């Protein structure tokens, strides 16, 4: 009985410091952001309480509404493209080939391919943005337009055309992110007994069946986590848009996102209360998306 009574002070002693640090550096800033969102404040003068006026003003802000619309497209395109490519490459690298005695294995050189796929992940976002500024140059000096010119296709305004600028930036994020999920899914596939794939192959299952009827269901928990991660990333996009887009969210707000509008209102227009209101909206959008995704995509766990 004495040992049980003594364990609680021991546990509390270990948890006290991290809980206090989390409250001070995470919970407290959130609370302050909610408070500032209810004020009109330029960062220097005394804040003026305005209640929900900042949130009401968001409904008439064209740039903010454009940013929300862009997040919707990013939420659809980014996870679908990234997870689809990552699953395909992971399947090839782990069960897409034949090993010794006809056993299931990855394609030849799969370990080297995993390193190559992961390399973009170690690059800073600013470096990736500067790199793709050269790739997307609107004349033949750009890598993509140079290649198109060689096959007789005219120049494409990748970042200057409002119709395709956002998708050009999404393509960059997909390029950088795929490698991480290739490694993540490869780790998940390596935990699946190879006997399952071999037994299915002996029963006549082709690659298509192995992928959609065996691999995807057994990786569903990992796929669900990946979808949540990419959804949260889709609500950010600040750094890559800031570096890569024309006129920071242009042209004509065709690539702007909520985080960029928050930054612009706070540090360009000194409207900290209004910017905090945007941040609060972004916070609730993110946690709502994560909760709904985990709920909707929940399935009964498959044991093997």
Q: Are residues 4 and 91 in the same domain?
A: no
Domain that holds residue 33: 1-37
Q: What is the pLDDT of residues 165-210, one digit of tens each?
A: 999 999 999 999 998 998 888 888 777 777 776 677 776 666 777 7
| Structural domain includes residue 301 | no
Burial environment of residue 142 by CB neighbours within 10 A (0 to 12, 13 to 18, 19 or more): buried
Clarify whether residues 95 and 12 are in a common domain: no
Same domain, 102 and 222: yes
For 205, left (φ over 0), alpha (ψ -120 to 50), or beta?
A: beta
Per-residue pLDDT tens for 116-133?
888 888 888 889 988 998
Instruction: Check which CATH number belongs to the domain holding 279 and give it.
Output: 1.10.3720.10
Quick one: 277 and 210 in the same domain?
A: yes
Question: Nearest 5°: phi and psi at 184?
Answer: -60, -45
Mean pLDDT, residues 248-276: 91
Which comes out higher in pLDDT, residue 115 or 206?
115
Whether 206 and 57 share a structural domain = yes
Are 276 and 36 in contact, with CB atoms under 8 Å apart? yes
Q: How far apart are CA 82 and CA 227, in angstroms?
A: 9
Q: In terms of Cα–Cα distance, which of 226, 237, 235, 238 is closest to 180?
A: 226
Asked whether residue 150 falls in the same domain as residue 284, the answer is yes
**pLDDT at res. 18:** 85
As given in the structure block, the two tokens for residue 160 are 């200057």
In a domain, residue 253? The reply is yes
The answer as to whether 65 is a domain residue is yes
Backbone angles phi, psi at 163, to 5 degrees: -75, -25
Number of domains in the chain: 2
Question: What does the mean pLDDT of the chain come to?
Answer: 84
Please, which pLDDT band fits residue 1 given cuts at 50, 70 and 90? very low
Query: Using 50, 70 and 90 to split pLDDT, how confident is the model at 102?
Result: low
Give me the pLDDT at residue 62, please: 92
Kindly indicate the confidence band of residue 67, based on its pLDDT and cuts at 50, 70 and 90.
Answer: very high
Q: Is residue 44 part of a domain?
A: no
């Amino acid at each position: 009985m004495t040992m049980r009574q003594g364990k609680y002070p021991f546990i509390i002693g270990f948890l006290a410091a991290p809980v206090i640090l989390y409250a001070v550096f995470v919970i407290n800033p959130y609370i302050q952001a909610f408070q500032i969102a209810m004020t009109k404040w330029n960062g220097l003068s005394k804040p003026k309480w305005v209640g929900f006026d900042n949130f009401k003003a968001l409904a008439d802000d064209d740039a903010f509404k454009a940013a929300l619309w862009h997040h919707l497209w990013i939420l659809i395109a980014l996870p679908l493209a990234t997870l689809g490519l990552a699953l395909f490459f992971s399947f090839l690298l782990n069960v897409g080939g034949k090993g010794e005695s006809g056993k299931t294995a990855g394609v030849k050189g799969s370990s080297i391919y995993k390193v190559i796929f992961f390399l973009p992940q170690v690059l800073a976002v600013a470096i990736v943005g500067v790199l793709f500024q050269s790739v997307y140059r609107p004349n033949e000096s750009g890598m993509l337009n140079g290649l198109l010119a060689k096959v007789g296709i005219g120049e494409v305004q990748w970042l200057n055309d409002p119709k395709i600028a956002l998708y050009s930036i999404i393509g960059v994020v997909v390029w950088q992110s795929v490698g991480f999920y290739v490694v993540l899914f490869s780790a998940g596939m390596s935990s699946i007994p190879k006997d399952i794939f071999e037994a299915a192959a002996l029963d006549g299952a082709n690659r298509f069946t192995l992928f959609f009827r065996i691999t995807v269901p057994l990786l569903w928990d990992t796929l669900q986590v990946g979808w949540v991660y990419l959804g949260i990333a889709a609500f950010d996009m600040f750094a890559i848009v800031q570096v890569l887009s024309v006129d920071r969210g242009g042209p004509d707000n065709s690539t702007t996102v909520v985080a960029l509008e928050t930054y612009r209102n706070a540090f360009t227009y000194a409207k900290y209360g209004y910017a905090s209101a945007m941040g609060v909206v972004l916070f609730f959008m993110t946690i709502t998306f994560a909760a709904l995704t985990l709920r909707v995509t929940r399935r009964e766990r498959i044991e093997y």
